[in-house]
Amino acid sequence: MSNSPFRTPARKLRLFTLILTTLLLGGCSGGNESWNGKDISGLMPTLAFELTDSQGRTVTAAQFDGKVRLLFFGFTSCPDVCPTTLQKLNQATKGLPEGLEDDVLTLFVSVDPERDSPERLASYVSFFGDGIVGLTGTEPQLRELAKRYRTTFGYEEPDNSGNYAVSHSSAVYVFDREGKARLLIRPDLGVKAIRQDLIALAGAETE
């Protein structure tokens, strides 16, 4: 990177992310106990961004209005959390009732723009079905988006070969068709539970 990403110890950022997530999960919510995920209605701003997709095009959140959107931060070199989470989301959306599958979209935002080119993003997200869009941006754009949703990310010091790990949140944010933040999907939530929430959210809004 022209501006080195290795400025803040990733260990501190992981702790900061953990604290923010804990506060969010334990905070006040809309009080709807029927959700499997955490109800965050009214706790987060609406979905808004201007990023670059896996085709190299500038896109905004408004271009995906009308769909329920799952926002997840990660990177293509992630060895465990990212592929596990994206596979789980793919399984959950593939099992939606007819008529709803095309109404739910996963937005995978890479926080590793140095390595994750549009071409690499396109290849990576293709492994996780058709209902996923790969996005990235400049580091300032990504920092701003992460801050908007009370999370962060950081970079480990590179090894002798120049390889480095990236720390990021494992939570998935769910936004309704209007872009309002509705749910936070925890890492321990299973496919069936996620699917139930998506059916309740997407299905209710088609009635």
- What would the pLDDT profile of 160-204 be if each residue is shown by its tens digit? 988 899 999 999 999 999 999 999 999 999 999 999 999 999 986
pLDDT of 170 reads 94
pLDDT of 203 reads 81
Question: Whole-prediction pTM value?
Answer: 0.85
pLDDT of 3 reads 41
pLDDT of 29 reads 43
Round to the nearest angstrom and report the end-to-end CA distance of the chain: 48
Render pLDDT for 137-170 as a digit per residue (tens, 0 to 9).
999 999 999 999 999 999 999 999 888 999 999 9
To the question of whether residue 28 is assigned a binding role by annotation, the answer is no
pLDDT of 14 reads 52
What does the block give as tokens for 91?
């399984």
Angle at 114 between CA 109 and CA 119, to 5 degrees: 65
Beta pairing class for 38-39 and 50-53: unpaired
Render pLDDT for 1-59 as a digit per residue (tens, 0 to 9).
434 444 444 555 554 454 455 445 444 444 455 899 999 999 999 999 999 999 999 99
pLDDT of 162 reads 87
Average of pLDDT values for 92-118?
95
Beta pairing class for 104-110 and 68-74: parallel
Average of pLDDT values for 65-94?
97
Residues 6 or more apart in contact with residue 9 via CB below 8 angstroms: 154
To the question of whether residue 123 is assigned a binding role by annotation, the answer is no
Q: Which CATH class is domain 10-28+36-204?
A: alpha beta
